[in-house]
Amino acid sequence: MALALSACAGTLWQQEGKTAEQTRRDVAGCERDAETATLSGSGTNRADYPLPTTGGRGPSPLQMHDRAELSDRYDKAVDRCMRGLGYGQGHPADQR
């Protein structure tokens, strides 16, 4: 799903005292909540975003724009959720 491949893929969420497993669970919960809120708020559902097929013309520029907007709203919802849980962001290179 396009929303699952968000821009946050290279981001490392961190919170002092949290294990990697706790962080993975928190991220998964925030992603689930963000997906539900983003899709329901736009009046769409998961079935409206099938995997691309080979052949054919693909999505129109307007469809691509709509998906980009949904993806941006999703990323922001995940960010709000994780920050609400007390996490901060960093990139792996920043951790050296």
Residue 17 pLDDT: 92
Q: How far apart are CA 96 and CA 85, in angstroms?
A: 25
Instruction: Tell me the HSE value of 83 on the side-chain side, using a 13 A CA sphere.
Output: 8
Q: Could you read off the pLDDT tens digit of each residue along the chain, which spans 96 residues?
A: 444 444 445 578 999 999 999 999 999 999 999 999 988 877 776 666 665 555 667 777 777 778 888 889 999 999 999 999 999 987 555 544
- Cα–Cα nearest to 41, from 74, 63, 7: 74
Q: What is the largest CA-CA distance in the chain?
A: 50
